[in-house]
C-alpha cells in the first residue's frame, strides 16, 4: 500500500514536518568542537527539572520586534498556558522552539544540553518536541488505527509500509493511545469521516505515538463543540505529568478549566505569569489584554 500525502485541511496552514517519514537521522552540531552526534529524546537531560528554557530571545521582521528579550522556563511535566492579544508573539515563540524561525538573539534549550537554535525542524521533532497546528493534519483516507500506526516511532528500516507486521507491544501502544484520545470505538473508521474535534484528537494521538517529551498545542479547541472542548481539557490534564505541554489558546473558559500556571505575552515579552486569578487581576494585563 502506498502512503498518501498528509491532507492539509487549510491551504494557509503550514504543513508541519513529518519526521518519521522518510526517516531522518538527526545530528547536532556542537558550536565549539564542530563534531556531530545523533540526538534523540533519550538524551534529554531533565536533571534540573526544566524541559524548556528560553532566555533573552529576540526576533525581528523588517525591524519590527515580534519577540523582544523573551525569557521563559517550562518545568518537566508542566501544563503551561500561554495567552496574549493578537500579535503578542505566541506563534513566533512556537516557531523559535521548533526551529522554524531562528532568533536574532538569545538562547533556547531543551533540557540542560540540547541547544534548539543549532537544530533543524526535523531534528527538533526527533529530539522530542511535537507541535500541533490549529487545523488538523491527518491522513484522511486512512483509518484512525492506520494513522496512529503510520505515526509510530519505530525502526524505519523495518517498518516501511503498512504491510509490516505489528509487534504485540506496538499493537498495545496503539490501543492505549486510542483509549487516551477516546477514539477506541472509531479505530476502523476512515479518518476523513471524523468530526472536527475527533480529528484534532487523532492528530494529538499521532503526536503521542512519537513519544514527545514536550507538546506545543496551538489553539487546540478552536472550532470545537462544548462537549469536545471539555473532553480535550480532560485529555490535556491526563497528559500533564508524563508530558510537558505548552498550550496557546484564546478561549478563556478552556484556559480556566486546565490552567495551573499562565504566561501572558505582550509585544514579544512576558507581561505577567502566575495562576489565572493572579494574571487576571494584574492591572497591566487588564490594561493591555483582558480589559480591551
Ligand atoms: N514572517 C513575518 N513577517 C513579518 N511580520 C511577522 C511575521 N510573523 C509574524 N509577524 C508579526 O509579528 C507579530 C507577532 O506575530 P505572532 O503571529 O507571533 O503573534 P500571535 O501572538 O501568535 O498572534 P495571534 O494570536 O493573532 O495568532 C505580529 O505583529 C505579526 O504581524
pLDDT tens digit sequence for 93-104: 999 999 999 999
Asked whether residue 187 falls in the same domain as residue 62, the answer is no
Task: Give the residue among 222, 285, 208 at the shortest CA–CA distance from 255.
Answer: 222
Asked whether residue 56 falls in the same domain as residue 176, the answer is no
Asked whether residue 207 falls in the same domain as residue 220, the answer is no
Q: How far apart are the C-alpha atoms of 232 and 184, rounded to whole Å?
A: 15
Residue written as grid cell 514536518: 17
φ, ψ of residue 266 to 5 degrees: the values are: -155, 125
For residue 265, the enclosing domain spans 46-128+212-291
The count of other CB atoms within 10 Å of the CB of residue 9 is: 16
Asked whether residue 106 falls in the same domain as residue 144, the answer is no
Residue closest via CA to ligand 1's atom 29 equals: 87
The verdict on residue 273 lying in a domain is yes
The verdict on residue 271 lying in a domain is yes
252 CA → ligand 1 middle, Å: 20
Asked whether residue 218 falls in the same domain as residue 122, the answer is yes
DSSP 133-198: -SS-EE-TTSBHHHHHHHH----TTT--STTSPPPHHHHHHHHHHHHHTT-GGGTTSBGGGS-HHH
- Nearest atom, ligand 1, residue 84 CA: 21
86 lines ligand 1 (CB under 6 A): yes
- Nearest atom, ligand 1, residue 265 CA: 21
**If you average pLDDT over residues 157-162, what whole number do you get?**
52
Residue closest via CA to ligand 1's atom 12 equals: 66
263 CA → ligand 1 middle, Å: 17
pLDDT at 265 over 80: yes
198 lines ligand 1 (CB under 6 A): no
Asked whether residue 159 falls in the same domain as residue 259, the answer is no
11 CA → ligand 1 middle, Å: 18
What is the SS3 string spanning 225-271?
CHHHHHHHHHHHHHHECCEEEEEECCCHHHHHHHCCEEEEEECCEEE
Q: Give me the pLDDT at residue 167, please.
A: 79
Domain tally, the chain? 2
Which of 159, 190, 211 delimits the end of a domain?
A: 211
pTM over 0.95: no
The predicted-structure confidence for 23-45, as pLDDT tens digits, reads as follows 333 344 443 333 345 567 777 88
The verdict on residue 3 lying in a domain is no
The verdict on residue 79 lying in a domain is yes
Task: Please state, for a pLDDT cut of 90, what percent of the chain lies above it.
Answer: 64
- Nearest atom, ligand 1, residue 95 CA: 18
How do strand 36-38 and strand 129-132 relate by DSSP bridges? unpaired
Which of 178, 211, 244 delimits the end of a domain?
A: 211
Amino acid at each position: 500500500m502506498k502512503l498518501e500525502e498528509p491532507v492539509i485541511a487549510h491551504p494557509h496552514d503550514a504543513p508541519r514536518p513529518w519526521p518519521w517519514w522518510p526517516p531522518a537521522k538527526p545530528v547536532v552540531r556542537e558550536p565549539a568542537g564542530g563534531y556531530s552526534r545523533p540526538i534523540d529524546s533519550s538524551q534529554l537531560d531533565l536533571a534540573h527539572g526544566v524541559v524548556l528554557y528560553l532566555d533573552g530571545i529576540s526576533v525581528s521582521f523588517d525591524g519590527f520586534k515580534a519577540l523582544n528579550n523573551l525569557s521563559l522556563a517550562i518545568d518537566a511535566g508542566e501544563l503551561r498556558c500561554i495567552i496574549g492579544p493578537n500579535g503578542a508573539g505566541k506563534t513566533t515563540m512556537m516557531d523559535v522552539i521548533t526551529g522554524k524561525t531562528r532568533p536574532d538573539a538569545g538562547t533556547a534549550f531543551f533540557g540542560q544540553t540540547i541547544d534548539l537554535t543549532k537544530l533543524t525542524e526535523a531534528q527538533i521533532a526527533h529530539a522530542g518536541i511535537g507541535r500541533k497546528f490549529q487545523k488538523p493534519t491527518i491522513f484522511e483516507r486512512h483509518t484512525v488505527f492506520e494513522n496512529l500506526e503510520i505515526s509510530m516511532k519505530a525502526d524505519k528500516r523495518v517498518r516501511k509500509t503498512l504491510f509490516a507486521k505489528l509487534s504485540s507491544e506496538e499493537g498495545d501502544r496503539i490501543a492505549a493511545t486510542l483509549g487516551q484520545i477516546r477514539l477506541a470505538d472509531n479505530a476502523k473508521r476512515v479518518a476523513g469521516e471524523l468530526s472536527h474535534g475527533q480529528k484534532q484528537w487523532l492528530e494529538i494521538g499521532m503526536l503521542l505515538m512519537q513519544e514527545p517529551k514536550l507538546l506545543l498545542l496551538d489553539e487546540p479547541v478552536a472550532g470545537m463543540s462544548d462537549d469536545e472542548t471539555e473532553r480535550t481539557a480532560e485529555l490535556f490534564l491526563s497528559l500533564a505529568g508524563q508530558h510537558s505541554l505548552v498550550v496557546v489558546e484564546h478561549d478563556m473558559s478552556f484556559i480556566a478549566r486546565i490552567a495551573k500556571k499562565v504566561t501572558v505575552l505582550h509585544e514579544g515579552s512576558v507581561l505577567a505569569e502566575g495562576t489565572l486569578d493572579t494574571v487576571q487581576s494584574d492591572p497591566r494585563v487588564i490594561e493591555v489584554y483582558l480589559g480591551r
